[in-house]
Chain A
Amino acid sequence: MSMLHTVNKSPFERNALDSCIKHALPGSAILLIEDGVYAAIKGTAHEGMVRDSMANHSLYVLGPDLLARGMSPEQVIDGISVVDYGGFVDLAVNHDKVQSWL
């Protein structure tokens, strides 16, 4: 099994997602939560970085955090799965460890 990485920072504010992508081994999963969800939106300056990483990683975004910030699942980059907290738990179960990029 591989690792689940969580990122809770906007890519515009900190390098957490960038660093996570550079360290996450191919086949691992990245879940965007809290302010991290802004990275999942189409048409941002970081879309290229996110799309590139999708070649090697499965990307997820926490739906309740998206909606709270006025973003809808339709605005999410194709291929990023929207999950709820139950989905977050399942991701933690289905990967053998969780690393939080704080």
Chain B
Amino acid sequence: MAEPWEEEGPGTVKKFMYVNRKAPYGTIYALESLEVVLIAAAFEQDVSLAFLDDGVYELKKGQDTAGIGMKNFSPTYRALEGYDIEKLYVEAESLAERGLTEADLLVPVEVMSREALAKMMDEQDVILSF
């Protein structure tokens, strides 16, 4: 039986972008955004993640949350590949502003200019931000 979301035909694939602009731990948005992405993977849509502004801090290597009693969810970004989510876009300007480089990130990503990322956003069907 067709699922309700397949009414438009099983071939309906939309471009979903998850925009991450917030740092982890201070608020729950980064973690719960990631939880949406993990579920989204099952829907066979064209999923990408954008990291800009403080969102780039989500991917910082070496996160150790032992001292704050919270779960370190950063390894999950490395698991995304196993869910066939491979489009991780990080904005070069946001990294540079924060004194970070690609080498500081815990997962392979595509670093792109603000201009390129803006164009990428414009090509989406659905933009989810938390």
A contacts, CB < 8 Å to B: 2-3, 15, 19, 22-25, 28, 97-102
Contacts and interface: CB of A to CB of B under 8 A. Distances in A.
A19 B53 contact: yes
Interface of B: 19, 21, 52-53, 114, 117-119, 121-122, 124-127, 129-130
Main secondary structure of the interface of A (DSSP, over half): mixed
A-B pairs with lowest CB-CB distance, top 7? A23-B118, A99-B127, A25-B122, A102-B129, A100-B129, A19-B53, A25-B118
A15 B19 contact: no
Contacts of B52: 19, 23
Given A25-B118, A101-B21, 8 more contacts: A23-B52, A23-B117, A25-B119, A25-B122, A28-B122, A97-B125, A98-B127, A99-B129
Main secondary structure of the interface of B (DSSP, over half): mixed
Given A19-B52, A23-B114, A102 B130 contact: yes
Best-buried of A15, A23, A98 by chain B (most CB within 10 Å): A23
Nearest to A22: B114
Given A15-B53, A102-B21, A23 B129 contact: no
Contacts of B129: 99-102
Nearest to A18: B53
B19 to A, nearest CB: 7
A100 B126 CA distance: 11
Given A15-B53, A100-B129, A102-B130, A23 B21 contact: no
A3 B127 CA distance: 10
Given A97-B127, A99-B127, A102-B130, A3 B114 contact: no
